[in-house]
């Protein structure tokens, strides 16, 4: 279910110079803000939780997920180079699972690592806040990568739709409308983080742990399965 050649091609496409710069921009911004807040304000657990929850988890992780998830397959479908993968005796689900693995790894590295670093800068992991949000970032990386990988196989405008979903649904509705929170990757990952650490009231979720875990698994497996199906019936017509 994992093809090293497909993985290599995907890593190189994702971490090409321009895309790598975009992937680095938000994490750098997060770390700079964290350093500034700590510098001006000193260590404060509530501020740390607000910044990690409001910016890192609600905004940065989904955006990194959009770039890595859609970027792992969208451009190849767009310019037709995916034909070189598809015209090989390689099972289509293998291609998808490999690309998903790469997208998850890239999302985790570019979102969970800076979250941990920013958390350590903000309050030195007091009350396990840094670790809790890092766990949430790791967990949500998996679901985001899967969702946006599917989006990359469905539409040419995957990045736009992905950003709208990430910013409007996860960041805006997820914070304002309580019903929307039940269907938010962010909340599911917070439920896991809440359970895994002793962060207590500073890391809470509107969704119970069992529901969160089930939803995470269903969404990840479902989107991956459907992406494999999409790829299997992907019609790559010529320019005519």
Partner 1 sequence: MTTISIDHVSRWFGNVVAVNDITMTIGPGVTGLLGPNGAGKSTLISMMAGFLAPSTGTVTLDSKPTWRNEDIYKELGLVPEREGMYDFLTGREFVVANAELHGLGKKAAQKALATVEMEYAQDRKISTYSKGMRQRVKMASALVHEPSVLLLDEPFNGMDPRQRMQLMDLLRAMGDEGRTVLFSSHILEEVEQLASHIEVIVAGRHAASGDFRRIRRLMTDRPHRYLVRSSDDRALAAALIADPSTAGIEVDLKEGALRVQAVDFGRFTGLLPRVAREHGIRLLTVSPSDESLESVFSYLVAA
Footprint of partner 1 (CB under 8 A):
3-6, 8-9, 12-13, 16, 76, 78-81, 83-92, 232-240
When the beta carbons of 87 and 179 are compared against partner 1, the nearer one is 87
Least distance (Å) between residue 102 CB and partner 1: 15
Least distance (Å) between residue 5 CB and partner 1: 4
When the beta carbons of 76 and 170 are compared against partner 1, the nearer one is 76
How far is the C-alpha of 84 from the C-alpha of 89, rounded, in Å? Answer: 11
When the beta carbons of 6 and 67 are compared against partner 1, the nearer one is 6
Least distance (Å) between residue 163 CB and partner 1: 24
Report the Cα 171 to chain-centroid distance in Å. Answer: 13
When the beta carbons of 5 and 41 are compared against partner 1, the nearer one is 5
Q: 3: left (phi > 0), else alpha (psi -120 to 50), else beta?
A: beta
Least distance (Å) between residue 86 CB and partner 1: 7
Task: Report the alpha-carbon angle 235-236-240, nearest 5.
Answer: 115
Q: Which two tokens stand for residue 224?
A: 């991956």
How far is the C-alpha of 46 from the C-alpha of 33, rounded, in Å? Answer: 15
Least distance (Å) between residue 96 CB and partner 1: 13
User: Which residues touch 10 (CB under 8 Å, ≥6 apart)?
Assistant: 72, 73, 98, 99, 102, 103
When the beta carbons of 6 and 61 are compared against partner 1, the nearer one is 6
When the beta carbons of 98 and 205 are compared against partner 1, the nearer one is 98
Least distance (Å) between residue 109 CB and partner 1: 20
Calculate the alpha carbon distances from 99 to 20, 81, 147, 150, 187 in Å: 17, 15, 12, 11, 25
Task: Report the alpha-carbon angle 25-149-220, nearest 5.
Answer: 110
Nearest Cα residue to 73 out of 164, 150, 17, 2:
150
């Amino acid at each position: 279910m994992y093809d090293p050649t497909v993985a290599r091609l995907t890593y190189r496409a994702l971490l090409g110079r321009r895309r790598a710069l975009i992937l680095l921009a938000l994490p750098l911004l997060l770390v700079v803000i964290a350093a500034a807040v700590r510098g001006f304000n000193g260590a404060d657990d509530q501020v740390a939780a607000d910044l990690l929850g409001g910016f890192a988890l609600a905004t940065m992780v989904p955006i990194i997920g959009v770039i890595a998830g859609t970027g792992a397959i969208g451009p190849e479908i767009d310019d037709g180079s995916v034909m070189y993968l598809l015209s090989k005796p390689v099972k289509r689900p293998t291609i998808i699972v490999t690309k998903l693995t790469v997208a998850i790894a890239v999302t985790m590295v570019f979102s969970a690592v800076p979250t941990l670093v920013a958390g350590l800068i903000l309050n030195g992991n007091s009350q396990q806040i840094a670790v809790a949000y890092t766990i949430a970032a790791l967990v949500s990386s998996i679901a985001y990568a899967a969702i946006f990988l599917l989006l990359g196989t469905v539409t040419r405008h995957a990045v736009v739709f992905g950003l709208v979903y990430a910013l409007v649904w996860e960041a805006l509705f997820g914070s304002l409308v309580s019903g929307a929170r039940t269907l938010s990757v962010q909340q599911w990952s917070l439920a896991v983080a809440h359970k895994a650490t002793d962060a207590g009231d500073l890391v809470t979720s509107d969704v119970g742990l069992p529901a969160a875990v089930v939803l995470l698994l269903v969404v990840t497996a479902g989107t991956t399965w459907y992406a494999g199906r999409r790829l299997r019936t992907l019609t790559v017509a010529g320019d005519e």
